[in-house]
Structure 1
Amino acid sequence: MDLSLNGILPPLLLVAAFAITLVAAFVKGATGFAMPMIMISGLASFLSPELALAGLILPTLVTNGMQALRDGPAAAWDAVRRYRLFFLIGGVFLVLSGQLVTAVNPRIIYALIGVPIMLFGVAQLSGWKPAITSEHRRRAEIGLGAVAGGIGGISGVWGPPLVMYLTALDTPKTEQVRVQGVGFGMASILLLGTHLQTGVLNAQTVPFSVILLAPALAGMWLGQRVHDRLDQAMFRRMTLAVLVVAGLNLIRRAVF
C-alpha cells in the first residue's frame, strides 16, 4: 500500500489505526508493557504486516523513552546499572538468535513462550506467588535474560520474560515500569535501526508512523494517570492479566 502525507490511509482505516494505538498506549501507560503486541495484532488485521510493523516503530520508541525517563535520567541510569546483567545477556542472545531467524519456525517459538507465560499469569492470579530469593536472583536474571533475547531475535517478542522476572521479584510498581521502559527502549532503538536497514521504515511508511504518535502520546498520558492511582496489589493483578492476554496472543499466532 502506498502512503503519502496527502493520503496516508482511507479515513475509516485511519480512525481504526488511531483507536488501536490509543488503547495500546493506554495499557502501556497503566502497566508498562504490551503496546507492540496490541498494535501489531490490531493493525495487521486490516493492514499488511510490513505496514503494521512500520506504524508501531516510532510510537513505541517515543513512549518507551517517556516511560524510562519519567523519573529523570538518573533513575533511568540506576535501572540500567541494577539490571545490567539481564540487559547484557538479553542483548547477546538477541543478536545470536537473530541469525537463526530463517532457520527456525517462529510458530514454534510463539508456542514455547506463549504457553508458560499464560500459565504463569493464570497461576499467580489464582494465588500462587513464587519469589526469586537473593541467592537465586543471579541465575534467574541470566536464565530469563537468555530466554528474552533468544525469543526476541527470532520472533520480535522479548517483553514478557522481563515482566515475569520483575513480577517474581515483587518489584515496586514505579521501579518495575521504569525498568521495563529502559529495557524496551533499548530494544526499540535496535528495532528502528534494523528496519531502516530492511526498508520496512522508509519515506513512504514513516508518515504513517509519525501520525500515530498523537494517539500514542494521548493514550500514554491517560494510562499513566491510571497507573498513579493503582496500589501495588492492583498493579500486580493488572500486570498478570495483561501477561495472560499476551500469552494467549502468542499461542494464537502459533496456531494460526
Structure 2
Amino acid sequence: MTILFEQPALIIFAFVMIGLLAGFVKGAVGFAMPMIMVSGLGTLLSPELAIATLILPTVASNLLQAFRTGIRAAYESAKKHRLYLLICLSMILVTAQLVTSLERWVLYLILGIPVTFFATLQLIGWRPSINPGNRRPVEIGVALFAGSLGGLSGTWGPPTVLYLTALDIAKRENLRVQGVIYGAGSVVLLSAHLKSGIFNAQTWSLSALMLVPAGIGLLSGMAVQSKLDQAKFRKITLIVLIVAGLNLIRRGVLG
C-alpha cells in the first residue's frame, strides 16, 4: 500500500480516476478495463506495477460478467469453446513468466502496440470473417496469440473479441463467452504472477486498492448502460485508448 502513498498527490488522483474510468467503461459497454488500466497506469507507474495493479479488479469484474447469466450457461459456453480456453490459458501461464526478464522499453512497446492496433481496428469498424473450413486453425492461432499477449501485457481481450465477432454468434452468447474467457484468464494471470513475483506482498495491496474506484465505476456504468449512446461512447473510449497506447509506444521508442 505504501507504493501508492509514496507517490505525489497528482499520481494518487490519477490512479483513482483511471480506476473509475476503467470500471465505468466495463460496466457500460462490457470491455476495455484491462486496456484502460494498462495504458493509463503504464504512463504513471512501471509496466510491472501497471500489470500487477490491474489483476484483482480484472478478476472480480470478469467473474461477475461470466456468471451474470448463471453458472450453467457459463459452463456450456466454456465447454463449447474449450479448445480456445485451454490454449489461451496455457499461454498466459507460460508467457507471464517472461515479464520480469524483459527490458522496460520492450514492455512499454508490448503494452502500447496491441492497445493502439486493436483499438484502431475497432474504431474503423473492421469486421473479420472466418471460413467454416478454416475455423479450427484460426481458433488455435488466435488463442496462441491472445494467450501470449495476455501473459505479457495483462490483456487478451482484443483478439478474443475479434475472433468471437468473426464467428457471428448472438450478442448475449458473445458477451457470456467473453466473460468466461476473461474470468478464467484473469484467475490464471493471478496465479502466473504469483509465480513470476510481480504479484507479491508489496503489489497486491495496490491491486486491492484499485478494487474500490474500479468497483464504483463498474456499478455506475452498469446503472447508466441503457441510457448511453453506446456507439458514441464506444468511439470516444477507443480514441482515448489509441492516444494512451501511442504514448506508451513513445516511451518505449525513446527508452
Pair in the same fold by TM > 0.5: yes
Mapped partners of 1:117, 1:205: distance in 2: 28
Mapped partners of 2:211, 2:114: distance in 1: 30
Residue type of the alignment partner of 1:153: G
Residue type of the alignment partner of 1:149: G
Partner of 2:44: 46
Residue pairs, 1:173-212, within 5 angstroms: 173-212=171-210
Deviations 1:60-112 (A, max 9, x none): 11111111111111111112111112112223344454566547955665687
Residue type of the alignment partner of 1:2: T
Q: Is the 8 A contact 2:24 2:218 kept in 1?
A: yes
Partner of 2:121: 120
| 1:165–1:246 Cα change, 3 Å | farther
Partner of 2:83: 85
Mapped partners of 2:15, 2:115: distance in 1: 25
Q: Is the 8 A contact 1:117 1:243 kept in 2?
A: no
Q: Secondary structure of the equivalent of 2:2?
A: coil
Mapped partners of 1:219, 1:136: distance in 2: 40
Q: Is the 8 A contact 1:114 1:248 kept in 2?
A: no
After TM superposition, give the deviation of residue 150 of structure 1 in Å.
2.8
Residue of structure 2 aligned with 1:253, choices 245, 248, 253: 248
Q: In the comparison of the two structures, how many residue pairs are matched?
A: 248
Mapped partners of 1:109, 1:255: distance in 2: 12
Q: Is the 8 A contact 2:109 2:248 kept in 1?
A: no
Residue type of the alignment partner of 2:56: L
Q: Which structure 1 segments of 5+ residues have no match? A: none
Q: Is the 8 A contact 2:96 2:192 kept in 1?
A: no
- Report the aligned-residue RMSD: 3.5
Are 1:148 and 2:143 matched, yes or no? no
Structure (1/2) with the larger helix percentage: 2
| 1:111–1:23 Cα change, 3 Å | closer
| 1:227–1:82 Cα change, 3 Å | farther
Partner of 2:2: 2
% identical equivalent positions: 42
Q: Secondary structure of the equivalent of 1:37?
A: helix
How high is the TM-score relative to the length of structure 1? Answer: 0.76
Partner of 2:159: 161
Mapped partners of 1:136, 1:197: distance in 2: 36
Q: Secondary structure of the equivalent of 1:212?
A: helix
Deviations 1:132-188 (A, max 9, x none): 344433332222112212333344432210011122223333322222221112221
Higher mean displacement: 155-164 or 106-115: 106-115
Q: Secondary structure of the equivalent of 2:35?
A: helix
| 1:166–1:245 Cα change, 3 Å | farther
Q: Which structure 2 segments of 5+ residues have no match? A: none
After TM superposition, give the deviation of residue 57 of structure 1 in Å.
1.7
Residue type of the alignment partner of 1:120: L
Residue type of the alignment partner of 1:222: S
Mapped partners of 2:189, 2:25: distance in 1: 21
